[in-house]
Structures are given as structure tokens and as C-alpha cells.
Amino acid sequence: MAIADLDQKLTHKCSNFIDLTSRVSLVALSAIKCFLCGDQVTSEACAEQVRRLEEDGDVMRRDTEAHLYSEALIPESRGDLLGLIESTDDIIDQIKKVVLLFSVETPMIPSDFQEDFYQLTNICMAAVDEVLLALRLYLYEPRRVSAQLPRVYEKEKAADKQAALIKHRAFRQNNLSLSQQMHLRYFAHNIDQIADRAENLADRLSIAAIKQTQ
Amino acid sequence: MKSLFWRAKSLEEMSTEFLKVTKQACQVFLKGLRLYLEDSLEAFEEAYSEISRLENQGDYLRREIENQLYTKTLIPESRGDVLALLENIDNITNQAKQILMELSVEIPKIPPIFHQNYLELGEKSVKAVDEVLLATQAFLNDPLVIQQSLTKVYYWEGEADDHSEKLKRRVFRTPDLELAHKFHLRYFALHIELLADRAEDVADRLSIYTIKRSL
């Protein structure tokens, strides 16, 4: 039986948390896009918004977890759901980390790398989008989760490939100093980690959905 | 004490295969490291392709085992432990592949005076992995012999740590290297050392599971 059939209040709280995560990912994409285009003012405004959303997310997560253990009607699934909520929170944390890294370290990204970085961010946010859909399915129709997960894995692999491409190119640019090459690698790595966090959530969902449908 | 998989033979075979793939990946990692240091870049790229293939095979086996554990409700009392164990072992292969990938992508300039240090660090880290794979096999089949292997894992992890620290000290005390170059050399030492840390993570989990099973 689906969690939505067992505890509507909990489902509503989880659903709000998923919506918030989705907003974080959209605002972050915009922050990075603006940074790459040289629009620092809008980028900083978006970064501030991500910061606030992350704080709201922490409150929401704690409230959901408290409900899970004090009132929830699903004692047999609460461990799984707790793990899923925390893995979702890890995605938000990683996105916030990346946005703050751009804001604090203001990396010098050569113009011929800007499109590659935007593509990488876009793929990672697509992985987040796919896994959030899987999480929503888990709440309402857990049987459909397994069909959704390959889409997450596919995006995660694409992100790995794009990050490797950026790093490969960076370390072969003779006009860049080694420290600049390493700085580009650091940003590619951290953006790529967003897709890895989405993959972690997908792995958890895979097992939780099987248990939920047994 | 019975084998963990006494009622699930196909799982036992798949797990053995998974451990074999992890071991092979670490051997390929060592070969790749040696080839990179010898500047045999074409053969090194082949090693990188091979480890990527093994990593994919490991991912497939891990997901297949996890799927079977939960869909066929096999060993329900231990499946959470086995699941976490497999994921930690998978981290070893991922780390080994990542190092070769980073060498391939970043082509760090490693001065010949450090070659032997990097090789020995790699060998010590792989010894920690070999021991933890033996310990895992024992955990699955014959838990009574597990402690001996765990002691060796911790020994080799400590050796790798010490070796890595010495290497980094040497790097940062070598004149004529730019600071960015020192950072780059330190980064690779750190990542090779992490291979032994991943083995230690598995060993820590095995210690706890062994106690749980003996209760």
C-alpha cells in the first residue's frame, strides 16, 4: 500500500519538501547561468534565495521527521522514509554548496568553457528532477518507481561524462596555469556531485519501493 | 556458525563474483599506476578502459544482488547489513577507477624521484583491500576466520597512511616545485591513500556485523 493511502498529512509534508527541493534546483541553475553570463547581481540574488530555501528545507525536514516518529501511521516504513528525506536533504546541501562556491571563490571560467559548465549543471539538475519524480511516485504509486529510476542513472552517467570532458580539456589548455586548471576541475567535480547525490537517493528508493510493494 | 547464504546459493555465487571483480579492479589499478609512471600512456589508457568495464560489472552485480535480497526476501534478518556492506565494497572499485580516471584526465607531472613512493603507496593500499575482501568472503562463508583478516586490514591501512604522510612531507620540502604542483602531487597521494580508507570502512562494518551474528 502507498504511503499516501496510509498517512495523508505525512504525504503532504513530504510533497512540500519535494517541491522545495525542486525550487532549489531551479534557482541554483539560474544562479549559475547568470554567473557564467557575467551577471553577478542576479547570480548573487539567486544565491541568497538558495540559502533561504535551504534553511526553510531544514525546518521542513525536521518537522516531517518529527511527525514520522510521533504521529505517523507507518511504523514499518518510517526508517526508509527517514533515509529518503535525509538523502533528499543531501541534494539540497550539495546544490547550496556549489552556489556558495561560485559566490565565494568567483572562479575565472574561460569563455570557451562556459557552455560546458552550463551543460553540466543542466544535466545534474535534470538528474535531480528525475529522482524527485521517483520520490513522488514512491509516496503515491510505489510500483512505478522502478521504471523511473533508469532515467536518473542515465542522467548521472551523462553528468560524469560531461564533468570528465571539462576536466580533460582543462588540463590540456596550455594557456592556463596549473592552479587555474585545478580550480576548474574543483568546480566540475562539485557540480557533478549533485548528480551523485541524486543517484544515492535513487539507490535508496529502489530498495524502499520494493519493500513498500511487498 | 552457518554460511550467511546457506539458503541462497545463487546469491553466494554472485557475491563471490562481486568480490572477484573488486579484486581484479584493484590489480588493474596497480598495473595502471605502474604504466602511468613508466610513461606507457597507451597501455595505461587500456588499463583505464578495463577498470571502467570492471566497475560497470560490479555495479550490475551489486544491484542484482540487492534486488534479489529484497524481491525474494532472502536472509531477511541480515539483508540490511549485506546491502550496506556491498555498497561500501563498491566504493573501493569506484575509488580505484577514479584514481586512474584522474591520472588520465589530469596527466600530473610526477617527478621520477617520487615514482617509487607512489608505487609503494598503491601497493600498501591494495594490500588493505585484498585483506578486507578475504574478510568479507569469510563473513559470508566462514565467520570464524574473519578476525585475522581484519587485523591485517587495519595494519595495511596504517601503513598506507604513514607512507602517504611521508610522501606528502617530501613533496612539500622539495625545492624547485611550484606550490600548485605540490598541491597536485598531494592530491594524488591523498586519493591513493583513500583506497585503503575505503577498505577500512568495510572492515569497520564487518567488525560490527560479526558481533551481531555471534549474539
Domain count for chain A? 1
Contacts of A214 in chain B (CB under 8 A): 70, 73
Distance CA B35, CA B41 (A): 7
Contacts of A164 in chain B (CB under 8 A): 101, 105
Q: Which of B83, B101, B187 sits opposite A164 (nearest CB)?
A: B101
Q: Quick check: B180 and A182 CB within 8 A?
A: yes
| Residue A29 to chain B, least CA–CA distance (Å) | 26
CA distances from A201 to A132, A148, B79, B120 (A): 9, 13, 19, 37
DSSP output for B65-98: HHHHHHHTT-STTTHHHHHHHHHHHHHHHHHHHH
Contacts of B183 in chain A (CB under 8 A): 179, 182
Indicate the Cα dihedral angle B116, B122, B123, B124, nearest 10°: 110
Considering only alpha carbons, which residue of chain B is nearest residue A211?
A: B70
- List residues in chain A touching B: CB distance below 8 A: 164, 167-168, 171-172, 177-179, 181-182, 185, 203, 206-207, 210-211, 214
- List residues in chain B touching A: CB distance below 8 A: 63, 66-67, 70-71, 73, 83, 87, 101, 104-107, 178-181, 183-184, 187
Length of chain A: 214
pLDDT at B12: 82
User: What tens digit of pLDDT does each residue of B91-100 get?
Assistant: 999 999 999 9
C-alpha cell at A82: 527517514
Q: Quick check: A178 and B63 CB within 8 A?
A: no
pLDDT at B170: 95
pLDDT at B2: 56
The pLDDT profile of chain A, 214 residues, written as one tens digit per residue, is 788 888 899 999 999 999 999 999 999 999 999 999 999 999 999 999 999 999 999 999 999 988 888 876 777 788 889 999 999 999 999 999 999 999 999 999 999 999 999 999 999 999 999 999 999 999 999 999 999 999 999 999 999 999 999 999 999 999 999 999 999 999 999 999 999 999 999 999 999 998 888 7
pLDDT at A72: 63
DSSP output for chain A: --HHHH-HHHHHHHHHHHHHHHHHHHHHHHHHHHHHHT-HHHHHHHHHHHHHHHHHHHHHHHHHHHHHHHT-S-TTTHHHHHHHHHHHHHHHHHHHHHHHHHHHH-----HHHHHHHHHHHHHHHHHHHHHHHHHHHHHH-GGGHHHHHHHHHHHHHHHHHHHHHHHHHHTT-TTS-HHHHHHHHHHHHHHHHHHHHHHHHHHHHHHHHHHHH-
Contacts of B104 in chain A (CB under 8 A): 168
Other beta carbons less than 10 A from residue A147's beta carbon: 10
Which residues form the domain of A37?
3-213
**Residue B34 pLDDT > 80:** yes
Give the residue-averaged pLDDT of B29-40: 98
Distance CA B97, CA B77 (A): 33
pTM for this prediction: 0.85
CB A164 within 8 A of CB B101: yes
Q: Which residues of B162-197 are buried (b: 16+ CB within 10 A; e: fewer)?
A: ebbeebbeebeeeeebeeebeebbeebbebbbbbbb
**Residue B1 pLDDT > 70:** no
Candidates B59, B73, B106, B107: best to mutate against A (most CBs of A within 10 A) is B106
Candidates A177, A179, A180, A205: best to mutate against B (most CBs of B within 10 A) is A179
State phi, psi for A109 to the nearest 5 degrees: -100, 115
The letter for the amino acid at A21 is: T
**Residue B128 pLDDT > 90:** yes
Which of these, A49, A14, A3, lies nearest to A28 by C-alpha position?
A49
- Interface predicted TM-score (ipTM) of this complex, two decimals: 0.77
The pLDDT confidence band at residue B8, using thresholds 50, 70 and 90, is: low
Distance CA A177, CA A181 (A): 6
The pLDDT confidence band at residue B6, using thresholds 50, 70 and 90, is: low
| Residue B145 to chain A, least CA–CA distance (Å) | 31
Q: Helix H segments across B107-178?
A: 115-141, 146-172
